[in-house]
Amino acid sequence: MHELEQPPCAIPTVQGNILLVDDNLVNLRVLSQLLVREGHKVRPVNSGEQALKAIAAHRPDLILLDIRMPNLDGYEVCQRLKADRRSQSIPIIFISAANAVHDKVKGFEVGGVDYIAKPFQELEVLARVNTHLQIYRLQQALNQKILDLEKANAKITELSIRDELTGLFNRRHFNGQMSQLFEQAQRYRSPLSVAIGDVDFFKRINDRFSHAVGDRVLKGVAQILQKNLRSSDLCARYGGEEFVIALPGIGSADAVAACNKVRQAIEQAPWPKIHPELSVTLSIGVSDHLALGDYEAMIAEADRYLYAAKHGGRNRVCAAS
C-alpha cells in the first residue's frame, strides 16, 4: 500500500456509515483509519458471521467486503444480503487479493457494485467509496420521491371518488362499482339489491334552519349509514340529499330489513343537538330485479319505489311486494 497522496483537486466526500469486513486485522485497522479520517463512521468486523449480525443490528450505508474468509466467504455473505429485502439495496464493494477475472466477474454476479484489488491504493478506495455513497444517497432520495408521489397519487385518487361534504363515495364511483357488482351477480347467479334513500323535507330544513344545518344533517345521515351497513355494502351520496346503497348477496326482503334498520337509526338520532326543533327522517326505495338487464334499470326501479315511499307518507321503505 502506498501513502495517501493529496489529489490536485479534492473530491467532495459523502460521509456515511460503513461496515468493514476482513479477517486480516491489519487491513481492518488501515482501512478504518483511512475512512475515519475522511469523516465516515466505521464498524470493523473480522468474519462473515459477524458481518451478518452487525447488519441485522444496524443497517450500514455501504459495505467493504473481503472475499477469502474462513467459514463464510464474502460471496456467500453478499448472496445472503441480496436475498434479504431488508438489506438487498445496500451497496457492497468487494476488496480482495483474489484478482483473477473470474473472481471479479463472480463478485458482480452475486450482487457487488464494485471490486477493489489488494494491495489497494488509498485514493482509489476513497474515490470508489465516495462514488457509491453518492449513488446510494441519490437512489434513496429517488425512492423517497417515488413513495411521496405514490402517496400523493393515492390521495388524489381517493379525493376523486369521494363526496367532499359527507366523505361517502360519489356518484361516478358508485356507478362504476355497481356495474361490476351487477356483472358478478349475473355471472354467479347471486342476489344483489340496490336502495335509494332521500332525506324527507330537506328543502324545508335548509329554508328553516339554514344551509349550514342542512350540511350537518347530510353528514350525520352519512355517518349513520356507514355505521349501520355491512362492510361489504357500498354507500354513496348520489346527489343533493339523495343516497344510494348497493347490497350484494341479499335479495329484496333482507335489503328492506337492512334499510329499515338504517331508517330507524336516522329517525332516532339526536338531531335536536343540532337544533332543538330539528327532526330528520329518510324515505327509501329498494330493487333486486337483476332480470331488468342492467344496473341503471335497477336504480331506476329503486327510484320509483322511493317516490312510492314519499307518496305513501315518507319515513318508510318500499320495494316490490
For helices 122-161 and 171-188, the axis angle rounded to 10 degrees is: 90
**Secondary element (H or E) of residue 247:** strand 242-248
Helices (H), the chain: 25-37, 48-57, 74-83, 101-109, 122-161, 171-188, 202-209, 211-228, 252-268, 295-311
Through-space distance between the first and last CA atoms of the chain, rounded to whole angstroms: 95
Reading the block at residue 176, the C-alpha cell is: 362504476
* Residue entry with cell 356507514: 226
Q: Give the full edge-to-edge strand order of the sheet including 92-96.
A: 41-45, 17-21, 62-65, 92-96, 114-117
Contact 15, 24 (CB under 8 A): no
Is there a catalytic annotation at residue 241? yes
List, in sequence order, every residue forming a beta bridge with 20; answer none if it has no partner: 44, 64
The distance from CA 25 to its chain's CA centroid, rounded to whole angstroms, is: 46
Distance CA 158, CA 49 (A): 47
241, 242, 277, 301: which one is catalytic? 241
Residue 269 CB coordination number (10 Å): 17
Contact 266, 282 (CB under 8 A): yes
Distance CA 234, CA 168 (A): 9
Burial of 292 by CB count in 10 Å (0-12 exposed, 13-18 middle, 19+ buried)?
middle
CA angle (88, 93, 98) in 5-degree steps: 125
Distance CA 161, CA 262 (A): 23
**Residues designated catalytic:** 241
